[in-house]
Amino acid sequence: MFNKFKQNLVVKLDQEEVPLESMTLVSNNSTLQSSQSSQLSQKPSIISEGTSFEGNMVFNGILHLDGKFKGNIKADKIIIGKNGSFKGKFEADAVIIFGDLQGEVDCRSLTLNTGSTVSGKINYCSIRVELGSSVEGELNCVYA
């Protein structure tokens, strides 16, 4: 019934029309088959409250930490929730902290939200510190 309203999306490449659904899209160094897959890749991996993790983690994507993590992480984006705590070293493009962090951080963008507690060595390119956050340690502004 609704098929007659379906539009065929077409992209023009070098004067040749190619149906969008037959194209392969590239995003964040990973190959995706459709825009729907692109949206799925932006969903975070979650370590929930009540969960403890010890070890090393390396992946492309977002990590949302509401539990406890001890070790090393390398990811695109790390969010430490208000109940989350991290002890160790991590590297990410963007870091958003609501909870507790102890250790060493290398990041491009750092946001410390109200209620966050940070202690350690932090290397960053840009920083945003909200009123009510606590920082103790070494903050190094590093230009990329």
Residues 115 and 50 in one domain: yes
Average pLDDT, the chain: 79
Overall domain count for the chain: 2
Residues 122 and 61 in one domain: yes
What pTM did the predictor assign? 0.70
Domain ranges, residue 11: 3-41
Residues 115 and 60 in one domain: yes
For residue 133, what are the contacts with CB-CB under 8 A and spacing of at least 6? 97, 112, 113, 114, 115, 116, 117, 118
Report whether pLDDT(20) > 50. Answer: no
Residues 74 and 111 in one domain: yes
Summarised one tens digit per residue, pLDDT across range 58-117 is 988 999 999 999 999 999 999 999 999 999 999 999 999 999 999 999 999 999 999 999
| Per-residue model confidence (pLDDT) at position 123 | 96
